[in-house]
Structure 1
Amino acid sequence: MTDPTESATLPVTSSLHDKEVQEVIDQAEESKEDPLGKDVTEDPDSYVYPYVKEDLFTSEIFKVEIQNLPKFIGFNDLKKFLTKHGVNPHKVKLFGKQPFAFVTFKNQEERDKAMKVVHGVQWKGRVLSVKLAKPKADPMRKRKQEEADDSGESVSKRQARNQDQGQSAEPLSTQLANVVTPLWNLPYDKQLDRKEQEVVSILQQLSREIGKNNKAMLPWLFVQREKNNGMCCPLEKIRPSPVQTEYRNKCEFLIGMGADGQDKTVGFRLGKYIGGSCAVVGPGDTIHVPAETKKVVQVIQDYIRTTPHSVYSPETYEGHWRQLTVRTTRSSQVMAMVFFNPQKLSEEDIDALKKSMKMYFIEGEGKDSGVTSLYVVRNGQRTSPDDLPCELVFGDEWIYEQLLGLKFRISPHSFFQVNTPAAEVLYSAVGEWAQLNQDSTVLDVCCGTGTIGISLAKRVKKVIGIELCQEAVADAKVNAELNGLNNVEFLCGKAEDVFPTVLNAVISPNVIAIVDPPRAGLHSKVILAIRRAEHLKRLVYVACNAKAAMNNFVDLCRAPSNRVRGAPFRPVRSMAVDLFPQTPHIESILLFERVDYSTTCDKQQVQAAEATPPTS
């Protein structure tokens, strides 16, 4: 049976079509149009991003807009459609109930090819239209332009500006606390109540979504809602963090102009770039940053102020010092990673800088900083920070953390929960809910350095971890050896590519999946593989953003179809664990169990649902 998301396409291949598309491309190339419709070559003060005028790579300058898309298509449908037509996008963003999409490419050739191939194609009864899209305007430059144009300032903008000026009367420490720890002045028990109520709202929403997408679950849902305040499953009492201050074992700081006017300041940004602010405030008064981290920040700041190199400007793309990441452990090990944009500096200049840093920390004022590992990370324009190579300047290559009586090696880019004591609470709950025994096989998806799987390994037959970050996989393998485990295996790759194959190959009477994905949730391919694997009866989902993972939850529970095959799951237990005191963020755990239609109870529910009208 064919995939219902696909349909026949009828490309328009007439010479008139090719001519129209080529005219659009030629006109755009001739005019060099910027986001405001101005000619960039004639308007050097235009407030577009510098990459539009300079020789800097960004997919923004190779962007098209696809209009008249079919209703009800998803991101994956569009990606599949483009791939089928030989189009190789760099980035795809889908918008709206009347869908349109921005699609960016790595070069002009790919962009022009897409315009010629897709424009005029019929898809699900819609004839697609493709046009060149304008790069985004730089919000910083736009704000400055608007502020300079006093005569055209609207009342709302003037009020916003006056309000900002009023807020600036607050001490910088208070302003910063409001940005990085918004709940700092709320008693901790009130913070927990607020977070627990947020999870209640999410579970009530999930209950409504399951009802819309799986009629057979309605009788069961009615019972759950009655018992659980409208929620789809019981919510256990929120578990607090054992520590509420100085808990972060990983902190990321920007290096920029200080809000107090001091250049080369290391700290947190006071506002967002899009809001027109690049000002940085040091972390000295923040309550979630450990004292040893603050000490490292001060030492690094003192050092970079002795150098002739300027701070990096996100507005002009000039300058060198960009960011500082500090990782700490319970055993007082400290890893510092300094992100530096080399710009046009020679290798000799870079080597001299690294030598200078090394001497500063070995013999100079930094020798008492507590830093045990110092890295320099060359951060240019083209690569994600997590993919950048780290150059060890001095000290140990790794740091080690203790968690649940186990030892874990941590590399610069490896993921490790930022609140170690609270992570112990979280992982203990995961192990309890998984209902493990010596015949169990645990599939640890998005496993990071292997913390969850390794903490459960002695209670099960086999653990298989899957992780995208190569550094983290290397750490996970070492961590298994450090803790004397030989029943643990770690695989490197995208979960959507690796997990389906692993799942099909596992033969075990008791397979449990534990997933702890990034904020956006799991790829739909992983969810579909889980649904198809009928021998997988139980799933523990750890979500750092349950709202963002809602689509995953719904797909696990929706009724079977040509696309979603296999019996659905349903949520049977939930809980929140506070890993992020003083902030609105919360970690949630949901236990899903496979619906067993062979039981009398579930058969009766299906029969009852067939006579029940849909409801939300």
Structure 2
Amino acid sequence: MAEKTNTTTEADIKAEPEMMAEKDNANAEPEKATEAKTELSKRSEFSSEMFKIHLSNIPAGMHIGQIKKMLKKWDIDYHKLKPTGAKNKYMYINFANDEDRNKAIDKLDGLEYRGRVLKAQIAQAAKDPFLKKKEDDEPEDTRPTLVRLMEAVCPLSGLPYEEQVQKKFEKCAELMKGLSQEVMKGLSAYKIPNFNLTEDNIAVVEPVLRSPVTAGYRNKCEFTVGSNPETKEILVGFRLGKYKAGIINVATVDDIPIVSDEMKQVARMFQDFVTKTGLPPYNICSQEGYWKHITVRSNRKNEVMVIGVIRGDDLTDARKISLGQEFSEAMTAAPDKANIVSVYLQFTQQMKKGNKRDGPLYTHISGQERLQEDVLGAKFSISPGAFFQVNVQGAELLFKTIGDLVNLDPESSTVLDVCCGTGTIGICLATRCKKVIGVDIIESAVDDANQNVKENGLTNAKFMAGRAEHLLDRICREHASPENTVAIVDPPRAGLHPKAVHAIRSSKIQKLVYISCDANAAMGNFNMLTRPPSKTLSGDPFIPTKVIPVDLFPQTNHFETILIFERFPMTKLILEEL
């Protein structure tokens, strides 16, 4: 689903600083890289860029999971891994302090690993992207603020909806044409009957399913606290782009069509509150200040949850308590403007040099602890950090379409819900099948899923926490039979772990539903599923028989894609030809 990762083209424009790509820094002149580190060291707050190594001569094909396993084996405590791409044989590793970095160099430099001798050395800090952009003296974007904001948040809003849908269809069709060509290329290497499969009838794209609502549909938005670039007054809204691109300005959301009137009102109320507190907005460049952003969630009853986020390093416990009371009073003072029923504060802690990162906790201030939402007759509880589709009416269309496509039998069908999140898909389909087994890596999401099972009075659904690549093999052996099992995969934007794809390939599953929020990013998964069997890839391949784009994100370039994969009996056909 598209919300599993953060993007700037959907309304959750984040305020977290990012460093420029390492390959840009690799060619930097030494004195300039030193200046970048000096700028970083001027800040009292932590930046792991100051404690970085360059690890080279990595064995070919070694993925990030194997790197983590190697570092764990050698008891190396790292802060951040920064791969540079599958084809490159080097990467960067950031640490919390000099001690951890030097320990890693001592253990890794000269280590023989999988036939290669690793090389580890101190790496220069990547230049802060905002400072780099200033030094590059790039021409300033002088277009009106609204034009720039619309381009960043909802770039298709200037087009009639029919044209938006057509653009998404063409994009999907282009991607699927490439997939069908790869499938036929793999099959053509074998002189076997192909059941009349051609590039024209593989991965055929059906018309885009249109969202039932195109404006004000988002039930979750994150508004950044910043300042008006002209008046310098406090402003709560969306940033005009990524910090990585050197953009820190914030603009009002009053004219953004995908944000509801209630959420716009909340942004204005929070702006007034922040101004009255006397605590300045957090400055992402100097890393000074307090108020960062506010996350706003809502349901179709027009009930609203707000989560204010503030840096709490030097706030006393008494001040935190008073701020919580003031925040709650300010947010709930005008129920006629916004029906705020749940109030949280999140006090973040800036990492200091040498310290480890601890995730900030949500502090419940007042009202309900969760929102409730109905989807296709099922009830779901939404906690502050839980993933939930931002377009509920569009999600209902998506889930109903999936159920109709796979022809579930309530007496015999088993649904394997892979990357289940809070269980929305599996629970919505539970009344249409005999059993639902779900798996997700995030324990809190699985807890929410199992709680949702109880709240809906279901007895045929169970969700488990763990990595899909570790659990799928056992789940498939215990629950998957060729006749009655359908796997539904709804992974993050980058797709499934390769081991999870291997588990699906080697299982008895005959039908797979793959839901992708970025078909281009997931193409590696598609190719693994459809490739002929080999020494490294067991099991008959899958063939993409049907593709349906679903527009869950009107006004943006994004959409969901449903792909129906069915087994191709390649092994059987080869044996018959012998």
Pairs within 5 Å for 1:410-421:
410-421=382-393
Structure-2 residue corresponding to 1:325: 295
Provide the C-alpha distance between the structure 2 equivalents of 1:507 and 1:276, rounded to a whole number of angstroms: 50
- Residue among 398, 411, 420 paired with 1:426: 398
Which SS does the other structure have where 1:256 is aligned? strand
Which SS does the other structure have where 2:393 is aligned? helix
Closer/same/farther in 2, CA of residues 500 and 255 from structure 1, 3 Å limit: farther
Provide the C-alpha distance between the structure 1 equivalents of 2:517 and 2:102, rounded to a whole number of angstroms: 40
Gaps of 5+ in 2: 1-27
Cα deviation for residue 78 of structure 1 reads 4.5
Which SS does the other structure have where 1:251 is aligned? strand
Closer/same/farther in 2, CA of residues 110 and 209 from structure 1, 3 Å limit: farther
Pairs within 5 Å for 1:246-257:
246-257=216-227
C-alpha contact 2:187 2:194 (8 A) present in aligned 1 = no
Cα deviation for residue 256 of structure 1 reads 0.9
Most deviating of 342-351 and 563-572 = 563-572
Pairs within 5 Å for 1:160-559:
160-161=139-140, 164-165=141-142, 167=143, 170=144, 172-211=145-184, 223-228=196-201, 232-362=202-332, 364=333, 368-381=337-350, 388-437=360-409, 438-506=411-479, 508=481, 509-533=483-507, 535-559=508-532
Which SS does the other structure have where 1:536 is aligned? coil
Cα deviation for residue 419 of structure 1 reads 0.6
Which SS does the other structure have where 2:363 is aligned? strand
Q: TM-score, normalised by structure 1?
A: 0.81
C-alpha contact 1:360 1:367 (8 A) present in aligned 2 = no
C-alpha contact 1:296 1:370 (8 A) present in aligned 2 = no
Cα deviation for residue 269 of structure 1 reads 0.5
Which SS does the other structure have where 1:306 is aligned? helix
Closer/same/farther in 2, CA of residues 302 and 221 from structure 1, 3 Å limit: farther
Closer/same/farther in 2, CA of residues 266 and 498 from structure 1, 3 Å limit: farther
Closer/same/farther in 2, CA of residues 282 and 384 from structure 1, 3 Å limit: farther
Letter in structure 2 aligned against 1:198 = K
Cα deviation for residue 583 of structure 1 reads 0.5
C-alpha contact 1:120 1:127 (8 A) present in aligned 2 = yes
Closer/same/farther in 2, CA of residues 339 and 213 from structure 1, 3 Å limit: farther
C-alpha contact 1:192 1:240 (8 A) present in aligned 2 = yes
- Residue among 72, 89, 102 paired with 1:99: 89
Which SS does the other structure have where 2:475 is aligned? helix
Structural RMSD (CA): 3.0
1:40-70 deviations in whole A, cap 9, x for unaligned? 9xx9xx4548653445344323321123444
1:116-163 deviations in whole A, cap 9, x for unaligned? 33333455665433221112211222333444xxxxxxxxx4xx34xx
Which SS does the other structure have where 1:576 is aligned? strand
Cα deviation for residue 80 of structure 1 reads 5.2
1:341-362 deviations in whole A, cap 9, x for unaligned? 1121111111111111223244
Provide the C-alpha distance between the structure 2 equivalents of 1:345 and 1:68, rounded to a whole number of angstroms: 47
- Residue among 39, 64, 67 paired with 2:53: 64
1:542-566 deviations in whole A, cap 9, x for unaligned? 0011111111111122233343222
Closer/same/farther in 2, CA of residues 108 and 214 from structure 1, 3 Å limit: farther
C-alpha contact 2:176 2:204 (8 A) present in aligned 1 = no
Which SS does the other structure have where 2:55 is aligned? strand
Provide the C-alpha distance between the structure 2 equivalents of 1:206 and 1:195, rounded to a whole number of angstroms: 17
Provide the C-alpha distance between the structure 2 equivalents of 1:586 and 1:52, rounded to a whole number of angstroms: 42
C-alpha contact 1:433 1:540 (8 A) present in aligned 2 = no
Provide the C-alpha distance between the structure 1 equivalents of 2:48 and 2:517, rounded to a whole number of angstroms: 29
1:557-611 deviations in whole A, cap 9, x for unaligned? 22333432222222111110000011101100111122224655x767x87xxxx
Which SS does the other structure have where 2:512 is aligned? strand
Closer/same/farther in 2, CA of residues 253 and 49 from structure 1, 3 Å limit: farther
Cα deviation for residue 494 of structure 1 reads 3.1
1:75-107 deviations in whole A, cap 9, x for unaligned? 445455555655555414133645322223344
Provide the C-alpha distance between the structure 2 equivalents of 1:318 and 1:582, rounded to a whole number of angstroms: 35
1:464-489 deviations in whole A, cap 9, x for unaligned? 12233344323322322232211111
Letter in structure 2 aligned against 1:370 = N
Which SS does the other structure have where 1:472 is aligned? helix
Cα deviation for residue 413 of structure 1 reads 0.9
Closer/same/farther in 2, CA of residues 105 and 559 from structure 1, 3 Å limit: farther
Which SS does the other structure have where 1:372 is aligned? strand
Provide the C-alpha distance between the structure 2 equivalents of 1:132 and 1:326, rounded to a whole number of angstroms: 42
Closer/same/farther in 2, CA of residues 125 and 594 from structure 1, 3 Å limit: same
Q: Which has the higher contact order (CA 8 A, sep 6+)?
A: 2
Which SS does the other structure have where 2:511 is aligned? strand
Closer/same/farther in 2, CA of residues 400 and 386 from structure 1, 3 Å limit: farther
C-alpha contact 1:320 1:343 (8 A) present in aligned 2 = no
Letter in structure 1 aligned against 2:417 = D
Pairs within 5 Å for 1:118-157:
118-122=108-112, 126-147=116-137, 157=138
Aligned length: 545
C-alpha contact 2:413 2:434 (8 A) present in aligned 1 = yes
Which entry has the higher C-alpha Rg, 1 or 2? Answer: 1
Provide the C-alpha distance between the structure 1 equivalents of 2:167 and 2:32, rounded to a whole number of angstroms: 51
Pairs within 5 Å for 1:83-94:
87=76, 89=78, 90-94=80-84
Closer/same/farther in 2, CA of residues 81 and 520 from structure 1, 3 Å limit: same
Closer/same/farther in 2, CA of residues 290 and 305 from structure 1, 3 Å limit: same
C-alpha contact 2:37 2:50 (8 A) present in aligned 1 = no
Letter in structure 1 aligned against 2:370 = W
Closer/same/farther in 2, CA of residues 447 and 388 from structure 1, 3 Å limit: farther
Closer/same/farther in 2, CA of residues 384 and 401 from structure 1, 3 Å limit: farther
- Residue among 571, 577, 592 paired with 2:550: 577
Most deviating of 334-343 and 366-375 = 366-375
Provide the C-alpha distance between the structure 2 equivalents of 1:366 and 1:262, rounded to a whole number of angstroms: 30
Provide the C-alpha distance between the structure 2 equivalents of 1:242 and 1:384, rounded to a whole number of angstroms: 46
Which SS does the other structure have where 1:409 is aligned? strand
- Moved runs in structure 1, 4+ residues, more than 6 A? 217-222, 383-386
C-alpha contact 1:50 1:317 (8 A) present in aligned 2 = no
C-alpha contact 1:67 1:101 (8 A) present in aligned 2 = yes
Closer/same/farther in 2, CA of residues 220 and 446 from structure 1, 3 Å limit: farther
Gaps of 5+ in 1: 1-34, 148-156, 608-616
C-alpha contact 1:49 1:136 (8 A) present in aligned 2 = no
Provide the C-alpha distance between the structure 2 equivalents of 1:595 and 1:288, rounded to a whole number of angstroms: 42
